[in-house]
Amino acid sequence: MQLAILAGFVAAGLAPLLHRWFGAKTPLLMAVLPAAFAVWLATLWPSLADGKSLLLEWAWVPGLDITLTFLIDGLSWLFAMLITVIGALVLVYTGEYLKGERDLPRFLVVITAFMMSMLGLVLADNLVALFVFWELTSITSYLLIGFHHTDPVARKSAQQGLFVTVGGGLALLAGFVMLAQAGDSWSLAVLTERGEQLTGHALYTPLLICVLIGAFTKSAQFPFHFWLPNAMAAPTPVSAYLHSATMVKAGVYLLARLHPALGGTEPWEMTLSLVGAVTMLTGAFLAIRNTNIKKLLAYSTVMALGTLTMLLGIGTEGALIAFVTFLLAHSLYKGALFMVAGILDHETGTKDVTAMGGLWRVMPRTALVACVASLSLAGLPPLLGFIGKELMLTSVLATDHYGGLILLLAFTGAFLTLAVAAIVALKPFFGLRRDTPNTPHESPAGMLVGPALLAVLSLLFGLAPGMLDSLVETTVSGLGVVEPGVHLTLWHGINLPLLLSVASLVLGSLVFRYWDGIRGRLALLDPLIHRGPEHGYEMLMAGMVRFAEWQTRFLQNGYVRNYLVMTLLVLLGLVGHALLVRHPLEIGFSVDAYFHEVVVAGLMIAGALASCVMRSRLAAVAAVGIMGFSIALIFVLFSAPDLAITQLLVETLTVVLLVLVLFRLPRFATLSTPKERWRDLVVAGSFGTLMTLLMLSVLNGDQLSRISDYMVSNSQPLGHGHNIVNVILVDFRALDTLGEMFVLALASIGVHAMLRFHAAEHDASHGLSGRREDHG
Amino acid sequence: MVRSGTLILNVAARLLLPLQLLFSVFLLLRGHDEPGGGFIAGLVASGAFTLYFFAYGRNALGEMLKVSPRDLVAMGLLFGMLSTLPAWWAGEPFFTAQWWTVPVLGIKASTPLIFDIGVYLAVVGSVLTAITALIDTDHVDESGD
């Protein structure tokens, strides 16, 4: 399975090649991949239904307890099934939707990569692996939202989605690290069995906060909900797939997965149910302000995600059953509705529902699909959405935390959603026929098959909910409920949830009837909404840019002397602190040197002093050179031939480089004020003192000898070399050397680019035939 | 600024270049047991090329090198990365040194040697990149004569 996912990533990379061979048929071909996964998952079902869960082991970084082990139980099976089935349908849909699009291969690469990341996310058993896939979905989502990269709105939305989800991802990483520490394991399968150990741990509160931030940003919970509607800048297949059926549910998936490990506590239940309920209301309320069909659907997705979070917060057996049913229902109808929205956009050339009307005459089949899916969204019988909503209301009625408040929020959300469903289904297809930018036709079969299949499933599962019993049961048992007895039925008799449904039908119809008026009234609230979380995000971004500008001007001002002062001061602070506070400073030494050693040392001091007072650049360079060669001499005297050779060669090449740049420098002048020179003197003096003290204390201490002992004794047996310096460089510390090689490469690229740009600027300002520069 | 040198320099550079390069390879190969190694050898080779450049100028250096110094850097990095792979193949942790004996010649070959060649190329490449970049800006400045 792991290999299959990795192969899927490779297949994603092959999409451009396939596109060259098969052209417009490529999306259909690519759809085979998720379809094959779906078939494979289906074959696993019988053993899962028996209550077994599969653990596919795969070592990744064994030393760090990081694995690519996959855990397939009811929960991950359900998600994986949704990802693969809807994925296949979306790819088929894409074939028509993006027909003739020049960048179709790029789209296929990214969406297939997303599909594999998402599958990895829901199947991963290891926290690190889960996190890697989690971030991959954020990145692929970014690339897909910004697919039309020439459109500034798409670019801005993509960046916003990325910043919000990846910012949450950072919190999640911190949360995972704490989770692994508190639970002594990186494996989800193990952690979910250590619920009591985790909830009683001192780190529980901070890790809960971090994990929740990660999940809430990904699943667009209030106050992070704003990125999701903006993500509608993506092509519609992306909205249908990532931003309603799969990726935005990753946060909810994680919460469900961790429910047995972290759930059942007061903070968990309170936070989740309140945040979820508030998100529900926010989504439903913001939805009816919009006339753009994709935004309407996006806000109703926010509402649905809020519902799912709230149900997890309530956390009773009934609520978890409602969670699974609602999740399935939502994925089916919302995927279908988004694809219908794409068809409408494609055929009419507008996304504004008020600009469409009476379309059922020209596209009766699309109208039928839209109506069925909308009935499920509205929560009306006999569709799966109805069952989901009834179960949701039942469990809300049974909750004891803020029961009244949550019920109010949930009920308001429900009737506003009904109004949204009515708007989406009735406005475009019924009423007076309006002229649209394009003349609409019935959509091609390729675009209709996906939404039609999803709508049929909504209806089928609604009429015969018994088919879902074992699926829901298996999934719920993955959430930590032992032996759940699940019997979904369409008709529960006349009870309070049903009455609430009737009431929401009435209220929702009223909202729909007076929608235009209500929208006008709601426009009065715009100033308030513009001060909402999105405004906060923009302020934060602007603040970050201002801070970056300030600190760049302050730290990176382009003067080497300031960089040096800054670097030395930081070193002084850190090393000085460690030297004086961490270790007792013991200095005891006796001057015991040969005459020639004293001479070399004297030469070095003379060179250093001379370089400071010389009035000519060449002389100063020569004085520094004296110092360099004296150091090389010291290395020779203390029998370190490698270092001596290196030092001599570096000195030589430095002189060559200096000669090359010397003529290009301005006339030697004193640029700093006396005050600055005193500052420099103090900094340089203290740094010199620090280094001297450091050397002296190293001579005294014996804690540093052990490392070199190891190197000396193992150089020949382990490294097969007598030159210890070289063995350290290319074997013991080869990774460091490799890193340094990259630094070297980057530095030389930097030099090259800088001088090239300088040359180009020079060309531009003087022209190639310009007069000769007068070198100082 | 930099012009072709005097007769003595020219002759010396021509004679010294092969010797210096040979010496640098010698340093590179013996580096594991005696003073030497990729870094030092790379610096010696850079010195040799620099001398040649001072004697014969930028164009002659470019013609002799055939490849761009930046490609040398890239090749160095490639060698460095390649030397990590055999350990992977042998199922050992990343970067574990592997030692082989070349059958007929009886020379010991190893991944540290491959790695050292990478260091050598990276050093030569980056020094020459810096030097040629500096020379090229001179040429721009002087092209208006």
Domain of residue A317, residue span: 265-523
Whether residue A200 sits in one domain with residue A283 = no
Identify the H or E element spanning A541: helix A533-555
pLDDT at A593: 79
Whether residue A283 sits in one domain with residue A255 = no
Chain A: give the shortest CA distance to residue B23, in Å.
13
Whether residue A269 sits in one domain with residue A258 = no
Which of A254-263, A434-443, A638-647, B125-134 is the least confident region?
A434-443
Contacts of B39 in chain A (CB under 8 A): 646, 729
Comparing A722 with A139, which gets the higher pLDDT? A139
Whether residue A227 sits in one domain with residue A368 = no
How many A/B residue pairs have CB atoms within 8 Å?
A: 157
Tell me what the mean pLDDT of segment A562-571 comes to. Answer: 89
Q: What letter would DSSP give residue A359? A: G
Comparing A345 with A664, which gets the higher pLDDT? A345
Residue B3, pLDDT above cutoff 60: no
Residue A363 located in a structural domain: yes
In angstroms, the CA A689 to CA A693 distance is 6
Residue A706, pLDDT above cutoff 70: no
Tell me what the mean pLDDT of segment B80-84 comes to. Answer: 88
Whether residue A360 sits in one domain with residue A229 = no
pLDDT at A49: 81
Q: Does A770 touch chain B (CB under 8 A)?
A: yes
Tell me what the mean pLDDT of segment A63-91 comes to. Answer: 88
Whether residue A294 sits in one domain with residue A258 = no
Nearest-CA residue of chain B relative to A738? B80
Q: Does A667 touch chain B (CB under 8 A)?
A: no
Nearest-CA residue of chain A relative to B133? A752
Other CB atoms within 10 A of residue A23 CB:
9
- Report CB contact under 8 Å: A731, B108: no
Confidence of residue A711 (pLDDT cuts 50, 70, 90): confident
Other CB atoms within 10 A of residue A611 CB:
17
Q: Does A444 touch chain B (CB under 8 A)?
A: no
Instruction: Summarize pLDDT for A156-176 with one digit per residue, the tens.
Output: 999 999 999 999 999 999 999
pLDDT at A588: 67
Residue A296 located in a structural domain: yes
pLDDT at A11: 85
Among the three residues A495, A523, A551, which one is the final residue of a domain in this structure?
A523
Tell me the residue ranges of DSSP E strands in chain B: 99-101, 108-110
Which of A244-258, A522-536, A569-583, A704-718 is the least confident region?
A704-718
Residues A727-749: b if buried by 16+ CB within 10 A, e if exposed: bbbbbbebeebbebbbebbeebe
Comparing A767 with B99, which gets the higher pLDDT? B99
In angstroms, the CA B35 to CA A729 distance is 13
CB contact set of A117 (below 8 Å; sequence gap of 6+) = A133, A136, A137, A140
Q: What letter would DSSP give residue A14? A: H
pLDDT at A769: 43
Identify the H or E element spanning A67: strand A66-67
Ordered DSSP codes for A18-60: HHHHHGGGHHHHHHHHHHHHHHHHHHHHHHHHTT--EEE--EE
CB B32 within 8 A of CB B113: yes
Residue A489, pLDDT above cutoff 60: yes
Q: What is the pTM of this model?
A: 0.76
Tell me what the mean pLDDT of segment B21-38 comes to. Answer: 87
Residue A47 located in a structural domain: yes
Contacts of A771 in chain B (CB under 8 A): 144
Give the mean pLDDT of chain A. Answer: 85
Comparing A49 with A320, which gets the higher pLDDT? A320
CB contact set of A661 (below 8 Å; sequence gap of 6+) = B134
Instruction: Summarize pLDDT for A311-321 with one digit per residue, the tens.
Output: 998 888 888 99
Whether residue A374 sits in one domain with residue A296 = yes
pLDDT at A771: 40
Residue A404, pLDDT above cutoff 90: no
Chain B: give the shortest CA distance to residue A132, in Å.
20
CB A99 within 8 A of CB A24: yes
Asked casually if ipTM beats, i.e. exceeds, 0.90, the reply is: no
Contacts of A755 in chain B (CB under 8 A): 133-134, 136-137
Tell me what the mean pLDDT of segment B108-124 comes to. Answer: 89
Instruction: Reduce the DSSP state of residue A72 to 3 states and report it.
Output: strand
Confidence of residue B139 (pLDDT cuts 50, 70, 90): low
State phi, psi for A606 to the nearest 5 degrees: -60, -45
Q: Does A663 touch chain B (CB under 8 A)?
A: yes
Whether residue A365 sits in one domain with residue A225 = no
Q: Does A636 touch chain B (CB under 8 A)?
A: no
pLDDT at B21: 92
In angstroms, the CA A142 to CA A313 distance is 29
Comparing A775 with A16, which gets the higher pLDDT? A16
- Report CB contact under 8 Å: B43, A735: no
Instruction: Summarize pLDDT for A229-277 with one digit per residue, the tens.
Output: 888 888 888 988 888 888 899 999 999 999 988 888 888 988 998 899 8
Which of A321-325, A476-480, A642-646, B8-12 is the least confident region?
A476-480
Q: Does A741 touch chain B (CB under 8 A)?
A: yes
Among the three residues A205, A229, A262, which one is the final residue of a domain in this structure?
A262
Chain B: give the shortest CA distance to residue A774, in Å.
10
Residue A420 located in a structural domain: yes
pLDDT at A671: 72
In angstroms, the CA A214 to CA A74 distance is 23
Chain B: give the shortest CA distance to residue A66, in Å.
14
Instruction: Summarize pLDDT for A514-558 with one digit per residue, the tens.
Output: 888 888 888 877 777 777 888 888 899 899 999 999 988 888 777
Whether residue A171 sits in one domain with residue A308 = no
User: Which runs of consecutive H residues, i.e. helices, occur in A101-203?
Assistant: 104-123, 127-145, 152-183, 188-191, 195-199
Q: Does A762 touch chain B (CB under 8 A)?
A: yes
Question: Quick one: tokens of A713?
Answer: 């004794």
Instruction: Summarize pLDDT for A112-147 with one digit per residue, the tens.
Output: 999 999 999 999 999 999 999 999 999 999 999 999
Nearest Cβ partner for A752 among B40, B83, B129: B129
CB A546 within 8 A of CB A661: no
In angstroms, the CA A374 to CA A385 distance is 9
pLDDT at A763: 64
Residue A631 located in a structural domain: yes
Domain count, chain A: 3
Q: Using a CB cutoff of 8 Å and minimum separation of 24, what contacts does A576-579 make?
A: A576/A690, A579/A690, A579/A693, A579/A694, A579/A697
CB A649 within 8 A of CB B47: yes
In angstroms, the CA B102 to CA B25 distance is 19
In angstroms, the CA A589 to CA A98 distance is 79
Residue A384 located in a structural domain: yes
pLDDT at A55: 82
Q: Using a CB cutoff of 8 Å and minimum separation of 24, what contacts does A29-33 make?
A: A30/A91, A30/A108, A30/A112, A31/A87, A31/A88, A31/A89, A31/A91, A31/A92, A32/A88, A33/A8, A33/A112, A33/A115
Identify the H or E element spanning A61: strand A59-61
Q: Does A181 touch chain B (CB under 8 A)?
A: no
pLDDT at A74: 86
Q: Does A669 touch chain B (CB under 8 A)?
A: no
Task: Using CB atoms within 10 Å of the CB of residue A706, give its burial: 0 to 12 exposed, 13 to 18 middle, 19+ buried.
Answer: exposed
Tell me what the mean pLDDT of segment B5-19 comes to. Answer: 85
Nearest-CA residue of chain B relative to A740? B119
Q: Using a CB cutoff of 8 Å and minimum separation of 24, what contacts does B92-98 make?
A: B93/A63, B94/A735, B95/A734, B95/A735, B97/A719, B97/A720, B97/A731, B97/A734
CB A462 within 8 A of CB A391: no
Residue A626 located in a structural domain: yes
Nearest Cβ partner for A741 among B80, B97, B99: B80
Whether residue A287 sits in one domain with residue A145 = no
Q: Using a CB cutoff of 8 Å and minimum separation of 24, what contacts does A735-741 make?
A: A735/B94, A735/B95, A737/B80, A737/B115, A737/B119, A738/B80, A738/B81, A738/B84, A738/B115, A741/B76, A741/B77, A741/B80, A741/B118, A741/B119, A741/B122
Nearest in space to A377 (alpha carbons), one of A343, A424, A322: A424
pLDDT at A193: 86
- Report CB contact under 8 Å: A748, B70: yes
Instruction: Reduce the DSSP state of residue A556 to 3 states and report it.
Output: coil
Question: Quick one: tokens of A623?
Answer: 């004085």
- Report CB contact under 8 Å: B99, A720: yes
Residue A360 located in a structural domain: yes
- Report CB contact under 8 Å: B32, A730: yes
Contacts of A649 in chain B (CB under 8 A): 40, 43-44, 47
